[in-house]
Amino acid sequence: MNTNKIYLALLIFFTLVSCNQSATDQSVIKVDVCVYGGTSAGVIAAYAAQMSGRSVILVEPGNRLGGLSSGGLGYTDIGNKYAISGLARDFYRRIGQHYGKFEQWIFEPGVAERTFQEYIREGKVQVLYENRLQRVAKQGAEIKEVVLENSESPGHERTNAIRAKVFIDCSYEGDLMAAARVSYTVGREGNNLYHETINGVQLMDGHQFPDGIDPYKVKGDPTSGLLWGVSDHVLEPNGTGDKKVQAYNFRICLTNDPENRIPVTRPEGYDSSHYELLLRLFEAYTEKRRLNDYFIWSAMPNQKTDINNRGGFSTDMIGMNYDYPEGDYETRKEIIHEHEVYTRGLFYFYGHDPRRPRFLSLRSCTFAKPEG
């Protein structure tokens, strides 16, 4: 072999070695317990494991802890409070201490987030923010390692590998379980699958449109096409299974405190035609003249709100989330963005569109400033 060929062979060898090192450049973290998902359940699971003497790491794909509880859902759905015990009860009593009470069941998002951070500090729990699942390594049926990528820069070469004795999936999506090939179902099971009675499609009285609302862009003209938000799918019989999932929404924290306001502005991508169906609903509901007829408007401490969907057209972006559960990260990001534009647009519509009834104006309310 001449010198040039030797040089070329060595160049190829070192290039391959260099590429291989780059592809596997990762920090390996070894712990007893890895918790995936910094939801309320994830924080408490990590805290409980750490306090029991185990080494723990909590992985959160975003940059905040607490999930829904710190994301605006502060109006706790509760029946008999005496059924709540353990660390859940401890959480509500810590919330109560903040408000000068023994316990508190409704709270501001920032108060919840700070309370979850208290658990992290007290337990000395290691948290890995902005890391999401890339792949899972198993031995038989047992997860041995997860490899993570940076959520904000997924193409970055460096990754984190976590090896643990126990992995706990506390994400809302269940991605870790799915990647480990745990069986799951998306959508509504039919009544006939397990011989039940209230599964699948259910046409009910609540959260429906009244009869007689014209669905066409030009009233009475099917050739004009359907309004935005109206599906051309035929309603299946009650009890029929399908792949549809419950609608998603953002829980909205508004305030009428002028010292704590962020104005509701026109979002980029706003399209007023997306709310034409809502105008038809206003026409049909002549007796419903309050904002609370169109939202579940729950008052929270310090002049804030926890707002949820009510009726046929509200904060739920109905039918637009069906691809989310099994979508890749980019698909989910797009769906989240579409929901944000829709929700911001909905409140802008209520506050600014000249066609909405005057008694339904939202001009006096603004988004509350985030805490912390």
Give the pLDDT confidence of 268-307 residue by residue, as tens digits.
999 999 999 999 999 998 888 888 899 999 999 999 999 9
Digit-coded pLDDT (tens) for 197-250: 999 999 888 788 989 999 999 999 999 999 999 999 999 999 999 999 999 999
Name the nearest CA neighbour of 357 among 292, 297, 298, 279. 279
pLDDT at 364: 58
- Is the pLDDT reported for residue 4 higher than 60? no
* Pairing state between β 216-218 and 295-300: unpaired
Please indicate, yes or no, whether the overall pTM of this predicted structure exceeds 0.75. yes
Tokens (6 digits) for 353: 């569109």
- Is the pLDDT reported for residue 325 higher than 50? yes
Architecture of the CATH domain 23-179: 3-Layer(bba) Sandwich (3.50)
- Is the pLDDT reported for residue 13 higher than 80? no
Name the nearest CA neighbour of 314 among 235, 268, 252. 252
- Is the pLDDT reported for residue 17 higher than 50? no
pLDDT at 104: 96
Average pLDDT of the residues in 63-78: 94
Distance CA(372)–CA(369), nearest Å, equals 9
Digit-coded pLDDT (tens) for 107-146: 999 999 999 999 999 999 999 999 999 999 999 999 999 9
* Cβ–Cβ < 8 Å for 63, 38: no
DSSP 252-317: B-EE--GGGEE---PPTT--GGGGHHHHHHHHH-TT--SGGGTEEEEEETTTEEEEEE-SSSSS--
Segments making up each domain of the chain, as ranges: 23-179, 197-372
∠ CA 120-123-128, rounded to 5°: 45
* Cβ–Cβ < 8 Å for 103, 92: yes
* Cβ–Cβ < 8 Å for 146, 160: no
DSSP 133-168: EEEEEEETTEEEEEEEEESS-TT-S-EEEEEEEEEE
- Name residue 136's beta-bridge partners: 146
